[in-house]
Amino acid sequence: MSDFTTLKSQTNAGAAVTDASPTWVDMPFATANNELRLCASGAGTTTTPSASWPSFLRPAVTQVIAEMWAYTADAVGLKMATYDGTSAHYMQWRINWDALGTFASPWILSAAKDNTLPAASPGTQPTPSAGGDGSSFINGSADTSNTSYIKANAYGRGTAASGSVQDTPNANAGGTLAVTTGTAGAVSPPVTPAWLATWQSLQSATQWITGAVTNQALFAGFLYIVLSFWTGPGMTGGLLMPVLYFQYTWV
């Protein structure tokens, strides 16, 4: 069959969620005032209006952005309790597809400065007043050795090419994760299955993650991913809104 009827991202969100006991909710960001917000450790609350969301001051040294919040209204949010920017988690996000579609090639995971998905300009930060897109994150700087400030890891294949096998993690991503982590071109998580030994920078068509196989046709599955957002003295501030995307083919 052709395209998937259901293909969506889900996040493990809520005050009490853990890696071992996740609660998967559809990403509720398709309507007004629904958004994902990042802030420093201890700075977020469940009731902060968007206009009052705490600024993240540019640090003197590179560091992880330690909190992520999912807001379903201007002042109604949930902390993503299993996100802290480190590699010590395994249930943060997943891509969820149904059994009605047929992949024609392996999936791709990357990030771009806006929804036109343009190429990155590695190492080039926008002018301070520009803001409004995600180029500060995507392009990186000397802080990141010109990789993206957004790092990701993915577990196995999602689903195998055949045999109705689902790859579901039960241990932390671990592996090498630093502000400079990133490999040119594509990397693929092991089919064992396992997490990538070295996290990948998500930088448009410069650095991305792709599946090692074409996932089984007409078989529902999940692809588990974990993320880490960084910042540093070389980053231009502003209202930064990168686009993370899952790319796929079908017939």
Partner 1 sequence: MGLTSFAYLAQGLSYWKVKLRGRKRELSELDTSFDLQRGARPVDWSLDIVGSGDNAHIEEIILCTPQGEVKMPITEPKTAFQFKRGTMDILSNQRIVQAQVIGRLENRETGLCTACIWDVAGHDEYSEAGVLLPQKKHLYLDFVTYIHAFGAWHEDIIPPGAMYPLVIGL
Stretch that binds partner 1, among 46-54, 58-66, 115-123, 169-177 (CB under 8 A): 115-123
* Close Cβ partners of 169 (under 8 Å, ≥ 6 residues apart): 90, 91, 155, 156, 193, 195, 224
- What is the closest distance, in whole angstroms, from the C-beta atom of residue 116 to partner 1 in the complex? 6
C-alpha span between 54 and 56 (Å, rounded): 6
Would you state the structure tokens that stand for residue 122, as one six-digit string? 């590695």
Judged by beta carbon, residue 104 or residue 142, the one nearer partner 1 is 104
Least distance in angstroms from the C-beta of 109 to partner 1: 8
Compose the 197-226 pattern: x for residues touching partner 1 by CB under 8 A, - for all others: -------xx--x-x---x--x---------
Backbone torsions φ then ψ of 143, nearest 5 degrees: -55, -40
How many CB atoms are closer than 10 A to CB 76?
14
Q: Toward partner 1, which CB reaches closer, 62 or 137?
A: 137
Contact between 242 and 118 under an 8 Å Cβ cutoff? The reply is: no
Residue 22 binds partner 1, judged by CB under 8 A: no
Q: Where in 231-250 is the site for partner 1 (CB under 8 A)?
A: 243-250
Start-to-end C-alpha separation, the chain:
8
Site residues, partner 1 (CB under 8 A): 1-3, 7-9, 26-27, 29-30, 36, 93, 95, 102-106, 108, 110, 115-119, 186, 204-205, 208, 210, 214, 217, 243-251
